[in-house]
Structure 1
Amino acid sequence: MYKAIRKRGDLLRKSEADFLRVRESIKAKVAEVEHLDSVVKKLKTSIQDTQKEKNQTETENTILRTEIQQLNQLLQGVHKQCRKTAQELASQDEKLLLMESSLKATQEQLSEQIAETVHQEKNSRKSQTES
């Protein structure tokens, strides 16, 4: 009987030791779960912040794309106007060359007429002096 009591006492101590180990293990698991819960909450907050940043970036990108599109349209208009101005300038250059050529021809004709008039005047004076 003493042996049975002793065996039960040993079994009870072993059960208590097992109980304490399991309780400590459960405490460790609870602490780990609490830590993981804290990590999950931080990750959720981080995900929300990242989503807000993503949405803001998408909004900014949309605004910038619109600006780029407007600037491209403006640039196309400026290029069109530059081409038109260049064509007008080329046309004006052609007109200027024609006018310069015409002026030169007119000056040459005028010089020839003046020379002929001077020559005729000399001849007229010469014939008057001879008579």
Structure 2
Amino acid sequence: MKKGKKKMEQTFTVGSLKPATQSSARSVPSVQLKPNAPLAAPTAVLQIEQQGKTFTVQRTPGVSLLDAALGQGVLLDHKCKKGTCGRCMVTVLAGAHLLAPKTRREREKTDQPAKRLACQAQIQ
């Protein structure tokens, strides 16, 4: 700030970018954000269970749940990768919203919403 000049405060009305007049000026408390405060982000992981073991798989859009898991070192039991054997069946514990709707093959194998064929469940 230069010497001799004072900083002038302006008050704005709620919902307006025009300076308030003296008669309608209201004091609106300012919100102070903490630097580096983490923002709540939607979860980007899926938590699944197979044969009594729980696994966490990071969201990888455009690939099957099985391929994402295998690519991340999560060794899910599987065989055909076509949706016919049912061996890759998992229970989705968290992150189901990250998966595309069930395929025809998945619907043929189970009517339980949390059960998915990892080879058929596509991550969005």
Q: Which has the larger radius of gyration?
A: 1
TM-score normalized by structure 1?
0.18
- TM-score for the superposition, normalised by structure 2: 0.18
Bigger share in strand: 2
